[in-house]
Structure 1
Amino acid sequence: MKSYILIIVFLVSSLGFAQDMNTFFSKADSFFETNVSNGKVAYSKIHAKQDALNELLSLAKGIKVSESDSKTYQAFWINAYNLSVIKGIIDNYPTNSPLDNDGFFDKTKYSLAGKEVTLNTIENKLLRAKFKDARFHFVLVCGAIGCPPLINKAYLPDTLEAQLEAQTIKALNGSFLKVNVKKKRVAGSEILKWYKEDFVQNGSEIDFINRYRKEKIPNNYKLTYFTYNWTLNKQ
């Protein structure tokens, strides 16, 4: 009899966690749709009414997520990162750049999924170190214009692969690269320099770029980097 009770308790508990996760994704999707347009965030509007953001982060605090369900895990932490960046900006608003706030990435902690984590912890330990996927750099948005654009929807387990591909293609065919045919050079975002190890796992940086570029970069082109724009990505 006790075993049946334990099974029922486990099933009810599991169902509760699943419902919490579904609620988180649904509310995150609504939040991004309401507050993000063309990659820019309505910080002023969010700052004036913070209930939706605080509710989302409160929900995220109690969620349980496992690496064994890798797509749900990755989608949760990508959204949690992007929401925490917005929270960090709102807590210091008005501000001109995330870098204007000491410890923005490496000291300020957020309570998420039963952990106390910084933004750097999410990016480097919970995502990059575990999955070795360079495409994370095109969906984790640091609150600056130089970052990849924030989409106006949540990253979801069922659509995550397509979303990772789409954002990587968009970045590497857009503002992340500046090609100079005459000088046989390509200037890339400093993200390509800072995280070089992620982009050379299966070849050179240009090999990685060409997997997503419509107009391929010749292998004899010199790769340089242009200065990152840390200005706030505000509407």
Structure 2
Amino acid sequence: MKVYHFLIALLFTFSVSAQDLNSFFTETNSFLNKHVSKGKVDYANIHKDQSEIDELLKIASGITVKVSDANNYKAFWINAYNISVIKGIIDNYPTKSPLDNAGFFDKTTYSLGGKTITLNDIEHKLLRGNFKDARFHFVLVCGALGCPPLISEAYMPNTLEAQLDKQTKVALNGSFLKVNTKKKKVEASEIMKWYKEDFTMDGITEIEFINKYRTEKIPENFKLTYFTYNWNLNKQ
């Protein structure tokens, strides 16, 4: 009888957790669709009415998702990171840059997934620490113009692979690279400098990584340098 009650309780807990996770994805999708356009965030209106983002974070605080459930785990933490960045900006609004706020990435904590963690914890420990996937750098949006564009939809477990590929292609065929064919030179976002080890995993070069996602391939003999990151706020 005890085993029966335990199994019922376990199934109930799993059902509630799955329901909360689905609710988080649905509400995140609605929030981003409403407040994000062409990669820019409407911080002013979110600041005026913070009820939506507070409710989102409340849902996220009670969710439990295991690393073994890879797609749900990655989708949850990518969305949680992006929403928490917006919350961090709102808490310091008006501000010109996330860097204008001390400890924005490494000291300010959020209650997410049953943990009290910083933005850096999400990126470096929970995502990069558990999965070797350089595409994370094209979907984690740090609130600045130099970041990849924030999309106006949630990252969903069933479409995550396609979304990761798409955003990597958007970045590497767009603003993350400046190609000068005459000078045989390519300038890349400083993200590729800061996380070089992620882009050269398995013995490939940075240009080889880029060419996996580029429509117009870059010759291997081009010199690779980096342009300065734009930390100005990605506001509408």
TM-score normalised to structure 1 length? 0.99
| Aligned residue runs from structure 1 range 71-220, under 5 A | 71-202=71-202, 203-220=204-221
DSSP-derived class of the 1:129 partner: coil
DSSP-derived class of the 2:106 partner: coil
Task: Tell me the residue number matched to 2:228.
Answer: 227
Instruction: Give 1:129 deviation, angstroms.
Output: 1.3
Q: What letter corresponds to residue 232 of structure 1 in structure 2?
A: L
Instruction: Give 1:101 deviation, angstroms.
Output: 0.2
Q: What letter corresponds to residue 51 of structure 1 in structure 2?
A: S
Task: Tell me the residue number matched to 2:3.
Answer: 3
- 1:31-74 per-residue CA deviation (whole Å, 9 max, x = no partner) reads 00000000000000000000000000011001001011000000
**Structure 1 segments of 4+ aligned residues over 4 angstroms from their partners:** none
DSSP-derived class of the 1:131 partner: coil
Residue identity (%): 67
DSSP-derived class of the 2:153 partner: coil
Partner Cα separation in structure 2 for residue 6 and residue 121 of structure 1: 34
Partner Cα separation in structure 1 for residue 15 and residue 114 of structure 2: 18
Partner Cα separation in structure 2 for residue 105 and residue 34 of structure 1: 25
- 1:92-112 per-residue CA deviation (whole Å, 9 max, x = no partner) reads 000000000000000000010
- 1:172-224 per-residue CA deviation (whole Å, 9 max, x = no partner) reads 00000000011100000000000000000030000000000010000000000
Q: What letter corresponds to residue 94 of structure 1 in structure 2?
A: P
Instruction: Give 1:123 deviation, angstroms.
Output: 0.3
| Aligned residue runs from structure 1 range 39-54, under 5 A | 39-54=39-54
DSSP-derived class of the 2:235 partner: coil
Partner Cα separation in structure 2 for residue 153 and residue 126 of structure 1: 22
Structure 2 runs not aligned, ≥5 long: none
Instruction: Give 1:231 deviation, angstroms.
Output: 0.4
| Aligned residue runs from structure 1 range 52-71, under 5 A | 52-71=52-71
Partner Cα separation in structure 2 for residue 12 and residue 124 of structure 1: 32
Instruction: Give 1:167 deviation, angstroms.
Output: 0.1
Structure 1 runs not aligned, ≥5 long: none
Partner Cα separation in structure 1 for residue 139 and residue 131 of structure 2: 14
Instruction: Give 1:6 deviation, angstroms.
Output: 1.0
Instruction: Give 1:24 deviation, angstroms.
Output: 0.5
Q: What letter corresponds to residue 76 of structure 1 in structure 2?
A: F
- 1:93-137 per-residue CA deviation (whole Å, 9 max, x = no partner) reads 000000000000000000101111110000000000110100000
DSSP-derived class of the 1:106 partner: coil
Partner Cα separation in structure 1 for residue 13 and residue 117 of structure 2: 25
Task: Tell me the residue number matched to 1:17.
Answer: 17
Q: What RMSD in Å do the two structures reach over aligned CA positions?
A: 0.5
